[in-house]
Amino acid sequence: MTTTTATIKFAPVLPLRWLAWFGFALLLCIAPLVFNKGASLSLLSQMGTVMIFALSYNMLLGQGGMLSFGHAVYAGLGGFFAIHAMNLAAAGKIWLPITLAPLVGGLAGMLFGVLFGYVTTKKAGTPFAMITLGIGELVFSCSLMFPEFFGGEGGVSTNRVYGEKFLGISYGPQIEVYYLIAFWLFVSAIGMYAFTQTPLGRIINAVRDNPERAEFIGYDTQWVRYMTLILSGFFAGISGGLSAINFEIVTAENVGAHASGAILFFTFIGGAGYFFGPMIGAIIGVFMTVMLSDFTKAWHLYLGLFFIIIVMYAPGGVARVIMQNLRVVEYGKFGRVWRSMTAVSASTLLAFFGAVIGIEMLYHLTLESANGTTRKLFGIMVDTAAAPGWLVAGTLLAIGAIGFRLALPGFRRAWGEVNAEIEEQIRRAA
């Protein structure tokens, strides 16, 4: 008797996928030529490092269902090892071209993944989250106890320009650092995408969705989580090393709870369910961190509120919102949702505007009223201690909130109907 084994292909190998990677490479190359004003180059460099970090985080959160509150440990320690290696190389004690310095960070991240992952991956789900939080605190407290290695409050600094030029590249100018980051980003992104296609990358999805069945087909779920965490630590370490080259300084903050929380925010906002989601999250996150903090002191609050709104109303993140809308457009049903969608968006915008005015006024009143109670908001001078400004903020917020409440059911119905129809069509086609 002959048995025929049919290989199941989950996604056909389309030229589209190669095209996407080619487009990504092209985008990385031309981005600094398009955005060439002021600080945009350093912004792009920072986005690149955060993208690697977010992608590595998504190996845990998106692919493994492991919510970690201490992922910055791997990136931060990777950064520390990379920066010490760079200082040693600059002193002539070891040989290390700067191009490979991120690899030192990656190996360090991997090493600590082996060490800490053994403890953290003993559990999954909520206990895993708490244990990673504990490990994060442990490392952060240690970093203040060993100033010899972590440099105490001031951190460890370096100079990335050392040794002889290689092909005329000294890594002095920011543009050269950008292309170094872009190179590592491209390589790491391919590596992490390839990971999702490996047997390990597939089985970690199974462990995420149904650990019990994964055990029954003969996999040790703890071992699978452990392996994934080690690999994720490697990529996180690379991003830490790159950030050490980019900023030429690594401080204890880099391993702290704030850094871990930020990467969780970015990844989830971007969308943990899609491979490219964390990249979108990194762009939004870095943009908010760098640009918004120039405009307002309340940017932490905005980031937190934005995160809560995403968790409550769009748990798939920005990536899912984009993909679902694209799908509706693709099936030609956008005409049926756009009216209610506009109503919801408009009222959200109105409420958001009111909230921003209120928050800004309150912040000014509590923190800066010693220097006078008036401040400029959207080009208008507002007295934060007087009623009119508050009235405007309150009215906008109220109208927006009521409009949202009224518009939401209609939008939900239309959206649900359209998507149900699309899924029906897909099912029939298959």
Partner 1 sequence: MEFTLVTLLNGLSYGLLLFMLSSGLTLIFSMMGVLNFAHASFYMLGAYFAYTISLKIGFWPALIIAPLLVGLLGAAVERFGLRAVHKFGHIPELLFTFGLSFVIVEMVQMIWGRAAVPYPIPAVLDGPLFTLFTTHFPMYRGFMMLIAVLMLASIFLVLTRTRIGLVIQAALTHPDMVEALGHNVPRVFMLVFGGGCALAGLAGVIGGNAFVTEPGMAATVGSIIFVVVVVGGMGSLAGALLASLLIGVLQTFAVALDYSIATLFSSIGAMVTPQTFGYPVLKLTISQIAPIMPYLLLVLILIFRPRGLMGVREG
Which CB sits closer to partner 1, 30 or 145?
145
Residue 125 binds to partner 1 (criterion: CB under 8 A)? yes
Closest CA to 392 of 348, 346, 358: 358
Q: Applying CB under 8 A, which part among 49-57, 106-114, 118-126, 349-357 lies near partner 1?
A: 118-126
Q: In this chain, which of 64, 65, 76, 278 binds partner 1, going by CB under 8 A?
A: 65
CA distances from 346 to 221, 274, 309, 400 (A): 46, 28, 16, 8
Q: Which of residues 241-260 bind partner 1 (CB under 8 A)?
A: 257
Which pair of structure tokens corresponds to residue 367?
A: 């923190």
Residue 315 binds to partner 1 (criterion: CB under 8 A)? yes
Residue 268 binds to partner 1 (criterion: CB under 8 A)? yes
Q: Applying CB under 8 A, which part among 33-41, 233-241, 243-251, 358-366 lies near partner 1?
A: 358-366
Count the site residues for partner 1 by CB under 8 A: 45
Biggest distance spanned by C-alpha atoms of the chain: 91
Residue 127 binds to partner 1 (criterion: CB under 8 A)? yes
Q: Which of residues 14-33 bind partner 1 (CB under 8 A)?
A: none
Which CB sits closer to partner 1, 148 or 164?
148
Q: In this chain, which of 138, 200, 292, 323 binds partner 1, going by CB under 8 A?
A: 138
Which CB sits closer to partner 1, 303 or 357?
303
- Three-state SS across the chain? CCCCCCCCCCCCCCHHHHHHHHHHHHHHHHHHHHCCCCCHHHHHHHHHHHHHHHHHHHHHHHHHCCCCCCCHHHHHHHHHHHHHHHHHHHCCCCCCCHHHHHHHHHHHHHHHHHHHHHHHCCCCHHHHHHHHHHHHHHHHHHHHHCHHHHCCCCCEECCCCCCCCECCECCCCHHHHHHHHHHHHHHHHHHHHHHHHCHHHHHHHHHHHCHHHHHHCCCCHHHHHHHHHHHHHHHHHHHHHHHHHHHCEECHHHHCHHHHHHHHHHHHHHCCCCCCHHHHHHHHHHHHHHHHHHHCCCHHHHHHHHHHHHHHHCCCHHHHHHHHHHHHHHCCCHHHHHHHHHHHHHHHHHHHHHHHHHHHHHHHHHHCHHHCCEEEECCEEEECCCHHHHHHHHHHHHHHHHHHHHHHHHHHHHHHHHHHHHHHHHHHHC
Q: In this chain, which of 27, 94, 119, 391 binds partner 1, going by CB under 8 A?
A: 119
Minimum separation from the CB atom of position 343 to partner 1 (A): 20
Minimum separation from the CB atom of position 278 to partner 1 (A): 15
Minimum separation from the CB atom of position 350 to partner 1 (A): 20
Minimum separation from the CB atom of position 403 to partner 1 (A): 18
Which pair of structure tokens corresponds to residue 18?
A: 């190669």
Q: In this chain, which of 17, 29, 114, 122 binds partner 1, going by CB under 8 A?
A: 122
Q: In this chain, which of 18, 21, 146, 295 binds partner 1, going by CB under 8 A?
A: 146
Contact in structure between 149 and 80 (CB atoms under 8 Å): yes
Minimum separation from the CB atom of position 36 to partner 1 (A): 34
Residue 279 binds to partner 1 (criterion: CB under 8 A)? no
Closest CA to 68 of 272, 314, 261: 261
Binding mask 206-245 for partner 1 (x = CB under 8 A): ----------------------------------------
Residue 67 binds to partner 1 (criterion: CB under 8 A)? yes
Q: Applying CB under 8 A, which part among 145-153, 278-286, 333-341, 406-414 lies near partner 1?
A: 145-153
Which CB sits closer to partner 1, 203 or 361?
361
The amino acid occupying position 413 is R
Minimum separation from the CB atom of position 146 to partner 1 (A): 6
Binding mask 359-388 for partner 1 (x = CB under 8 A): x--xx--xx---------------------
User: Which residues in this chain contact partner 1 in the complex, by CB under 8 A?
Assistant: 65, 67, 69, 119, 122-127, 129-131, 133-135, 137-138, 141-142, 145-146, 148-149, 257, 261, 264-265, 268, 298, 300-301, 303-305, 307-308, 311-312, 315, 359, 362-363, 366-367
